[in-house]
Structure 1
Amino acid sequence: MKVSEIMVTDVASLTAEDTVSRALTLMVNRSIHQVPVVDGNGAYSGMIFAKQFLASSAQPTSKLKSFVTNTSSLSPDDEVEHAAKMILGTGNRALPVVHNDKLAGILSETDIAQTADFGHAIVDEVMSGAIVIEEDTSLADAVSKMRRYNISRLPVINTVGVLRGILSILDAASIIAMPMDRASKSAGISGARSKVKGDVKVKDIMRRAVAVERGTKLNDLSEHFKKNEELVVVGDSRPMGVVTPKDALELVLPKKGEPAIHMAHLENEEESRRVEGEIARFVKKIQGRIRDVQNVVVYADKHKTRKYSLRCRLITGKGVINAHAVGYDPISAVKELIRKLDRQVKAEHTQKVNKRKQRGTGRRV
């Protein structure tokens, strides 16, 4: 399938001369986290992201030209599998589709997830652990928590841990954007945020969460992904994990004869190669214990504390092994990551061996 068959052509775009206030308002109204920027002739210039504004002290009247980020682009003739790999590699939710330098459309992780066939895969295999927040927490603390964990959403719970709703970065932006339209030229976003710190709580702006039970097949969720950017996996009404279109996308990555390693977010090519090399050696080492390793996806994030965090999803024919590690540089982080992965692999291998022994004992009896 080609990108042109599923891309969206009715694309909201802005120019570098538009303001931060206009960009945030557009994102909130259209429920989008990123907007392509074009020049006067419709040529693609780059992308702006909601996270940038919430992490900055930009003024409402600031021009977008200071926030435009260069991104990779897709061609209408690219294969969808290639597009999935590109989107995961950049860490963005969507990539522009460019033809003759002009913005022809945009393709998102959701567009691909809606058309993919995930076979017998279930939510348990791809979900990320749920980092939650209580409904009486202040909005400012919720935004701070999202920044700390570099995530865009938080399942909201009550005091006994039952799921009550969901809060995303766009929900926070909807509150911050309101005073921005009326703000003075000297008032920055950080100033607008300070006005809502004390009196806006998570429960005031959270949305209804779409909850699914563990064991639900991913192929049954394509309709949900049309209207929701995340699904909360629950057990006994309590959040167990979160599934996004990007999580599901990992299952449609191109499969080769040997495990493929996909690096995301790590811009330094030398560091990326070194991390990939460490992971490749580890995957080769565990082949005897874990069979049918298909893909390994590693997400790297650099934090303001100068620390690096690595998130790894080791995708096998029977499920996904997740691990997360932090270090002062990518190499120390990947070594800690491998230690954590190795512990999980050993635990799963031991469990399989014990089950085989139990079955053998049962047959003898």
Structure 2
Amino acid sequence: MQVSEIMVKNVAALSPEDTVAKAYSLMVDRSIHQVPVVAEEDEEGGGKYVGMVFVKGLLARNVPALSKLKSYVANTATLSPDDDVEKAARLVIGSGNRALPVVEKDTGRLAGIVSETDIAQTADFGGATVDEVMSGAIVIEEDTPLADAVAKMRRYNISRLPVINKDGVLRGVMSILDAASILATPTERTSRSAAISGGKAKVKGEVKVKDIARRAVSVERGTRLNELADFFKKSEEVVVVGDGRPMGIVTPKDALELILPKKGDATIHMAHLEDQQERREIEEQLQKFLKKIQGKLGDVQSVVVYADKHKTRKYSVRCRLITAKGVINAHAVGYDPISAAKELIKRLDRQIKADHTQKVKGRKQRGSARRAPQEE
């Protein structure tokens, strides 16, 4: 299947001279996290592709709403209409972005856009379940101030949070895009989820998470990934619950990571890191680590690493280590990608040792219980 068969052709695009406020408005209205920027827009809304602006990046840098986009356009990988969907999946994972532009080779004109959701709709995940790919749920209470929720997303370098009540029960979900709808708009706004809150958010300083949280799409543990296709059409994430409490989150990208091409040994995929020397060094460190832990986790299928630079001049590195029995997540910060990656490996090692020790204790306890004499 080719990219041209699944791409969205009616693309919302902006020009370098448009403002950040206009970008926020467009992203909120269309529920998208990125907008392509084109020059020389034509009558069909297309034009020569320049780059992309991302809501996460704009908010992280506290960009003034009246600033022009030309100073914040990011270069991205591109697809062509005749590329196959497998290549699109690899590039989406490798870029770390939710969507990539489809650009005509000869003209450089923006022809469409392909998102992780579009690709996931074409995939067959076999008998795989949400338990195999879900990330652990980092949650936020519904009465938490919005500013604290945004700070938490930045601290963990994530884009969404399940919203819970004081009893830990799932009440909704919020994303960085939901936050942008308030942070970029100083006027009074009505709550987006009557099921969570029926009131109004007066000013930014008074906004609480429940004022902007959306109704969450949730499934139970053990649900097959193939059953999530319709859910992903309605929501950018699915919350995995147990007894009504968030246990994890699955996004289309999480599901796609499971079907990345395998090359025998565990494959390392890296995103957001342009320096090739740093990529090689981090990959070497990870390969050594994977050999060290061999036998403690079973089958390690792939490792996906996302590196991001922040305005504090620090780097954060996130890792999803995908095994046959589930996903292990870790996050670390450093003053350069190499030091951040080393700290990441230390955290992975501690987590894996703790999990391995717990499993060994569990086996010993079960063995002792079987050997114990039966009471008369």
Residue 239 (structure 1) shift:
1.3
Change (3 A) 1:106 1:357: same
Where 1:77 maps in the other structure, the secondary structure is: coil
What's the secondary structure of 1:342's corresponding residue?
helix
Deviations 1:293-333 (A, max 9, x none): 32111122333444333222222333323333333433333
Q: Residue 115 of structure 1: SS of its match in structure 2?
A: coil
Q: CA deviation at 1:357?
A: 11
Shift of 1:179: 3.5
- CA, structure 1 residues 143+313, in 2 after alignment: closer, same or farther (shift >3 Å)? closer
Q: Do the aligned partners of residues 26 and 342 (structure 1) sit closer, same or farther apart at CA in structure 2, a change above 3 Å counting? A: same
Task: Check if 1:76 corresponds to 2:81.
Answer: yes
Tell me if the contact between 2:160 and 2:173 (Cα under 8 Å) persists in the aligned partners. Answer: yes
CA distance in 1, matches of 2:365, 2:61: 58
Structure 2 residue aligned with 1:250? 257
Match of 1:114 among 88, 108, 121: 121
Shift of 1:128: 1.3
Higher normalized contact order (CA 8 Å, seq sep 6+, divided by chain length): 1
Indicate yes or no: 2:308 matched with 1:327.
no
Identity over aligned residues, as a percent?
70
CA distance in 2: counterparts of 1:6 and 1:256, whole angstroms: 27
Give the C-alpha shift of residue 145 in structure 1: 2.0
Note the 1:223-234 alignment, pairs <5 A: 223-234=230-241
TM-score of the superposition, structure 1-length normalised? 0.87
8 Å CA contact 1:153, 1:166 repeated in 2: yes
| Cα offset, 1:353, TM superposition | 10
1:248-290 CA distances to partner (integer Å, 9 max, x unpaired)? 1101211112221111122322111101111112223334444
CA distance in structure 1 between the aligned counterparts of 2:355 and 2:86, rounded to whole angstroms:
30
Contact (CA 8 Å) 2:186, 2:204: kept in 1 or not? no
| Contact in 1 for aligned 2:51/2:75 (Cα 8 Å) | yes
Matched, 1:148 2:142: no
Equivalence for 1:67:
72
Matched, 1:47 2:52: yes
Query: What is the RMSD computed on CA atoms of the aligned residues?
Result: 2.7
Distance 1:82 1:28 in 2: 29
Maintained 8 Å contact 1:88/1:264? yes
Bigger drift between 324-333 and 272-281 goes to 324-333
Aligned to 1:185: none
Partner of residue 125, structure 1 = 132
Equivalents in 2 of 1:141, 1:343: separation in Å? Answer: 28
Corresponding residue for residue 191 of structure 1: none
Residue-by-residue CA offset, 1:131-158 (whole Å, 9 max, x unaligned):
2111112222222222222221111111
Report what 1:105 is aligned to. 112
- Of the structure 1 ranges 144-153 and 289-298, higher mean CA displacement relative to structure 2 is found in 289-298
SS at match of 2:206: coil
Change (3 A) 1:61 1:321: closer
Name the counterpart of 1:23. Answer: 23
The 1-side partners of 2:161 and 2:361 are apart by 38
Instruction: Verify the 8 A CA contact 1:138 1:197 in the aligned structure 2.
Output: no
What is the aligned partner in structure 1 of residue 180 from structure 2? Answer: 173
Q: What is the aligned partner in structure 2 of residue 190 from structure 1?
A: none
Q: Secondary structure at the match of 2:270?
A: strand
Alpha carbons 1:76, 1:98 under 8 Å: kept? yes
In 2: Cα distance, 1:58 partner to 1:317 partner: 42
- Of 93-102 and 170-179, more deviation after overlay is shown by 170-179
TM-score w.r.t. the length of structure 2 is 0.85
Does structure 2 conserve the Cα–Cα contact (< 8 Å) formed by 1:82 and 1:254?
Answer: no
Distance in 2, Cα, partners of 1:147 & 1:338: 21
Separation in structure 2 between the aligned mates of residue 357 and residue 227 of structure 1, nearest angstrom = 45
Letter in 2 for 1:97: V
- Distance in 2, Cα, partners of 1:60 & 1:243: 32
**Larger fraction in helix:** 1
Contact 2:173/2:214 (CA < 8 Å) preserved in 1?
yes
Contact 1:84 1:252 in 2 (8 A): no
Q: CA deviation at 1:345?
A: 4.3
Q: Is the 8 A contact 2:85 2:119 kept in 1?
A: yes
Q: Helix, strand or coil for the counterpart of 1:234?
A: strand
**Any stretches of 5+ residues in structure 2 without a counterpart?**
42-46, 188-201
Q: What's the secondary structure of 1:142's corresponding residue?
A: helix
SS of the residue corresponding to residue 175 of structure 1 reads helix
* Equivalent residues of 2:320, 2:327 under 8 A apart: yes
Contact map agreement 1:110 1:226 (CA 8 A) in 2 = yes
